[in-house]
Amino acid sequence: MTTTTTAPASDASLGDHLFAAVQRCLPTRALSALMYRIAEIDSPGFKNGFIKAFMRGYPIDLSEAERETVEEYRHFNDFFTRALKRGARPMPSDPNLLASPVDGRISQLGAIRDGRIFQAKGHDYTAAELLADAELAKAFDGGSFATIYLAPHNYHRVHIPFGGKLRSWTYVPGRLFSVNPATARAMPRLFSRNERMVAIFDTAFGPMAVVMVGALFVGGVETVWGGRLTPPHSRAATPFHHQPDATVALARGDEMGRFHMGSTVVLLAPRGALDWQANLAAGDTLRLGQPLAQVLQHAVA
């Protein structure tokens, strides 16, 4: 298990710093909104060509999707947020295991130390910044976090890693920098600067935060309880806090939202709630449903 703490110096390359510097100059919200509109074009010739070109560049296996041919998708976004066949990503048989919420790769995981979350060598940020709520962040001090990066070729629906009831959710406006490893190495406080959706669930082990972080060319984020969250991409200076209008109770493995293009999910759990699987480390590839941690405070219903 990786329980990394903040290192004194970044290991970002010159190329990483240049890539981050270019992004600071870009109109990232406008570019992301434009990508969303392009990805919604439903002209058969355009969307089929777009999807086929994308599949030539990335290792995508449509045999595991509900719809296996390019022609069955209405537009690129429909393809990008494709559903998998039933049973393609089974949940663990042990009810006391926290499951991966996505297909992706571990960026970092470990302990939240002094309220801070490790991002990359030389960089961290606070749970209060990420959640946009200093009081709420106290519930996770000394707890656990996992940051999982979704590459463009991954399945882009997000599922709840452990059963719970939605307590609240928050839309936090922000920038839309890339969240790829190069940017994470070079950009301070990346995940707490980007636009994001923070969902807090009450579970058998206490509160659980599932944060869906937006990114460059992430044209849209949506949830199962609220529908499309973005676009438009707000420039407001303060977050928008919401209480669910009706009870939203999700079982482990239920879909909770989706990204239109790649991004990152950050999970937070309280002190003493989780014991990460010993074989997990930064850089490891994950599949939805793969065991991430043993839940230490769980009363099986």
In sequence order, the 6+-apart residues with CB closer than 8 A to the CB of 300 are 95, 96, 204
Q: Per-10-residue mean pLDDT for the chain, 301 residues long?
A: 53 90 91 90 96 94 96 96 95 96 96 95 94 96 96 94 97 92 92 96 97 87 93 89 95 95 92 95 96 79 38
The answer to whether 103 is a known catalytic residue is yes
Domain ranges of the chain: 14-80, 97-295
The per-residue pLDDT for 63 is 95
What single DSSP character describes residue 139?
G
C-alpha–C-alpha distance, residues 256 and 5, integer Å = 30
C-alpha–C-alpha distance, residues 118 and 114, integer Å = 11
Catalytic residue among 75, 123, 156, 159: 159
Catalytic residue among 16, 103, 124, 133: 103
Nearest CA-CA partner of 98 in 279, 281, 253, 295: 295
C-alpha–C-alpha distance, residues 230 and 227, integer Å = 9
pTM of the complete model: 0.92
The per-residue pLDDT for 4 is 47
What single DSSP character describes residue 290?
-
Q: Which two tokens stand for residue 240?
A: 């928008």
Nearest CA-CA partner of 213 in 164, 251, 252, 177: 177
Q: Which secondary-structure segment (H or E) carries 30?
A: helix 28-39
Query: E-assigned strands of 112-261?
Result: 116-120, 123-126, 144-149, 157-159, 164-172, 196-203, 206-213, 220-223, 227-230, 240-242, 249-250, 255-260
Whether residue 98 contacts residue 162, with contact meaning beta carbons closer than 8 Å, is answered with: yes
What single DSSP character describes residue 194?
B
The answer to whether 260 is a known catalytic residue is no
Determine the 3-state secondary structure of 57 from DSSP.
helix
Whether residue 297 contacts residue 273, with contact meaning beta carbons closer than 8 Å, is answered with: yes
CB neighbours (10 Å) of residue 283? Answer: 12
Nearest CA-CA partner of 146 in 262, 264, 296, 57: 264
C-alpha–C-alpha distance, residues 44 and 47, integer Å = 5
The answer to whether 13 is a known catalytic residue is no
C-alpha–C-alpha distance, residues 258 and 260, integer Å = 7
Catalytic residue among 100, 107, 192, 263: 263
